[in-house]
Structure 1
Amino acid sequence: MSADRGTLHVSLVAIPEAAISTLSGIYDVLNALRLLSGFSDAIPERSPIAVEIVGLRRGNVDLASGLPMPVQRAIAEIEETDIVIVPSLLVPGGNWQAGRYDGLVDWLKAMYARGATLCSACSGLYVLAETGLFDGRDSTIHWSYAAGFGKSFPAVRLHPERVLIAAGDDGRLITSGASTSWHDLVLYLIARHAGLAAAQAITKFFALQWHQEGLAPYVVFSAPTDHGDAAVARVQAWLATNYSVARPVEEMVRRSGLTERSFKRRFTKATGHSPIAYVQRLRVEEGKRRLERTTAPIEEIAWQVGYEDPAFFRRLFRRLAGISPGAHRRTFQMPASVGPAPAGRA
């Protein structure tokens, strides 16, 4: 902790690619320890955390949405801080242009060397990864950025299905995954530095929830198609609408025109999945959609996507999606208490 009367200083980084919802949300929840001291006895009268928005220079910076955010201090003015958080960034196509923020990257490395904890919310990891401090470390990021990030920073071990990972010396390299898992990040920081009771009080006030099931239920399977293997791409296109056929791998081999051994080798190399694992992911993904958008029984959905044995479908679904089919439906369907669902196409 900083020597400033035991106050922990948090530097929240604002750069043009930052998402205002994540940045402002993190600021508001951390700052709530100062504003809500009377809400619960668990919240200390004097907040142990002081958060400020920092950037390349003082003054307003236009964020990714075009809305301005005031930067309270420039990083050049900050010689020491306790926690640095880089919020979600908008990275079109997942392609990050390294080297644009060399001054910020150098500052991050200097802060870490002086004992600071470095945190990313979702795609904020792109900036942190340029420090090299995350090489060989377990980290998480939004699942939609995983492929692009992996190409730019192959030395970082990614786990997009995980909500929060604290790695490095004394857990000082912290990453949170998709979108609103920044909730888990700030609750973790509050629990770690202000106590679990304070974090629970903040959870109740803002109606936040820990993502106890992980992020696997939110991951949408996106099959790679830019691999350049025409035979595999042709089979993928057919399988997209024929995933429920019996003995799908046999049919895939036949349609590829290759020997079974050659097809399986090329398919796995091109897609990163064995043919049967690929089929299973397609079927579970379609099962998710039907659970979310229809009221069909799980047994019927299992049959529709290609499984005669509902018990096998349930086991496979839990393994790939992280939760049971019934729990998935409860999580993503509109609650009945809200009223009738709006009209629209399924």
Structure 2
Amino acid sequence: MIHVTILGLYNSMATTVFGPMDILNQAGRLWNRLAGTPRTPLFDVTLASADGKPIRSVNRVEIMPHCSIEQISHTDLIIIASATYIDKILEQNPELPGWIRHHYDQGAHVASICTGAFLLAETGLLDGRSATLHWGFADRFKARYPNVRLQQDRIFIDHGRLYCSAGVTAGMDLSLYLVEKFCGRPAATKSAKTMVLAMDRESQAPFRCFPGITDHTDPLIARAQQWLETNLAREVNYDELARTLRISRRSLERRFKQATGMTPLSYLQALRVEKARQLLEEGIATFSEITYAVGYEDISFFRKLFIRLTGLRPKEYQKKFAGYAVHPPGSQ
């Protein structure tokens, strides 16, 4: 039996607690039950909170843990649920990073789900390593943990005994992967079939949106961003834009990169791809029409750009996110 401790935290998303718990608890049980063979549980799962008291989930439902972290003398695997409110979590329970680090030093594997990467990063174990988490918290994570290399498009990352996964349901992808890593591919395949889960998702890029970057204090660059957003479909002359702002193009590009982390060109490309996503989701225009609508004439170039930023071909993206509207189940 592999001993697993799921660490529930203040305002954790309940799915990041119960998703891994259900997958790991059912490994060796549900498939065998359906197949009429003896049940052979593969994991012994314990839910712990810092103090053993109920965990207030983000939807205000209280989750009753089995025990406190002090009652965990040994564990093979710690799974950290989402930890969006990291400052409050650390204020209430400053011992958590040290507790995680202690068990890691004793040989335990440690995995984070979604924003649980914040707490994992607080241990210092991710310094110099790569990590992933929900795409919506990428900028905040990069600012707080500059020594961690963020790979925000990854569904999950394996560093041997350290793991990170992207948002919420990516924790289920990671849980299936952990079943495979600890118990083999056949066990993971059986778990996936019984839980009706897809295996081997690799990227969260298709789910990411680009609302723009506004968390900076440069008013001139804010004006440049507004201009790009307003003139999305126009052919952009960056020299002309710089003159409009009464700044050299070199200074514009330097300040833009400093404020947003992107060049003006890459920022405009992200805006155009985001607009194309929205139009594809509406399911009305063709990709050729969308290409012209967002300011490109070269359809082949824009298709390659779209694939690079989303991880999907335009038709695949539309099928995935406009599928129910465009192709209702059972309509064909």
The two structures have a TM-score, normalised by structure 2, of: 0.92
Task: Choose which of 83, 90, 109 in structure 2 pairs with 1:89.
Answer: 83
Question: Aligned partners of 2:137, 2:56: CA distance in 1, in Å?
Answer: 23
1:179 aligned counterpart, secondary structure: coil
Aligned residues: 328
Per the alignment, do residues 192 and 211 of structure 1 end up closer, same or farther by CA in structure 2, a change over 3 Å counting?
closer
- The residue number in structure 2 matching 1:337 is 328
Question: Aligned partners of 2:81, 2:202: CA distance in 1, in Å?
Answer: 23
CA deviation string 1:12-52 (max 9, x = no partner): 011222111221121111111253122359x9831121111
2:10 aligned counterpart, secondary structure: coil
Q: Does 1:124 align with 2:119?
A: no
Q: Does 1:101 align with 2:103?
A: no
- The residue number in structure 1 matching 2:157 is 165
Q: Return 131-140 or 197-206, whichever deviates more.
A: 197-206
Question: Aligned partners of 1:217, 1:107: CA distance in 2, in Å?
Answer: 36
- The residue number in structure 1 matching 2:140 is 148
- The residue number in structure 2 matching 1:24 is 18
Question: Aligned partners of 1:89, 1:339: CA distance in 2, in Å?
Answer: 40
- The residue number in structure 1 matching 2:317 is 328
Q: CA RMSD in A?
A: 2.0
Question: Aligned partners of 1:59, 1:282: CA distance in 2, in Å?
Answer: 45
CA deviation string 1:156-194 (max 9, x = no partner): 111111111111xxx111000122111211000111112
Unaligned stretches of 5+ residues in structure 2: none
1:27 aligned counterpart, secondary structure: helix
Question: Aligned partners of 1:162, 1:209: CA distance in 2, in Å?
Answer: 16
Per the alignment, do residues 147 and 183 of structure 1 end up closer, same or farther by CA in structure 2, a change over 3 Å counting?
same
Unaligned stretches of 5+ residues in structure 1: 1-6, 341-346
Shift of 1:96: 6.7
Q: Return 17-26 or 107-116, whichever deviates more.
A: 17-26
- The residue number in structure 1 matching 2:232 is 243
Per the alignment, do residues 127 and 213 of structure 1 end up closer, same or farther by CA in structure 2, a change over 3 Å counting?
closer
Could you tell me which amino acid in structure 1 is paired with residue 102 of structure 2? A
Question: Aligned partners of 2:87, 2:64: CA distance in 1, in Å?
Answer: 27
Equivalent residues in 2 for 1:1-346, closer than 5 Å:
7-36=1-30, 37-40=32-35, 45-91=39-85, 98-167=90-159, 171-210=160-199, 212-335=201-324, 336-338=327-329
2:230 aligned counterpart, secondary structure: helix
CA contact (8 A) 2:49 2:68 kept: yes
Question: Aligned partners of 1:251, 1:211: CA distance in 2, in Å?
Answer: 47
Shift of 1:295: 2.4
Runs of 4+ in 1 over 4 A off after TM superposition: 94-99
Question: Aligned partners of 1:250, 1:332: CA distance in 2, in Å?
Answer: 38
Shift of 1:339: 7.5
Per the alignment, do residues 282 and 96 of structure 1 end up closer, same or farther by CA in structure 2, a change over 3 Å counting?
farther
CA deviation string 1:62-85 (max 9, x = no partner): 222211111102111112100000
CA contact (8 A) 2:15 2:168 kept: no
Question: Aligned partners of 2:142, 2:88: CA distance in 1, in Å?
Answer: 11
1:160 aligned counterpart, secondary structure: coil
CA deviation string 1:204-239 (max 9, x = no partner): 222212363511111112322232222111111122
CA contact (8 A) 1:84 1:117 kept: yes
CA contact (8 A) 1:122 1:179 kept: yes
Per the alignment, do residues 96 and 230 of structure 1 end up closer, same or farther by CA in structure 2, a change over 3 Å counting?
farther
Q: Percent identity?
A: 34
CA contact (8 A) 2:256 2:263 kept: yes
Question: Aligned partners of 2:272, 2:103: CA distance in 1, in Å?
Answer: 47
Question: Aligned partners of 2:186, 2:224: CA distance in 1, in Å?
Answer: 54
Shift of 1:328: 0.8
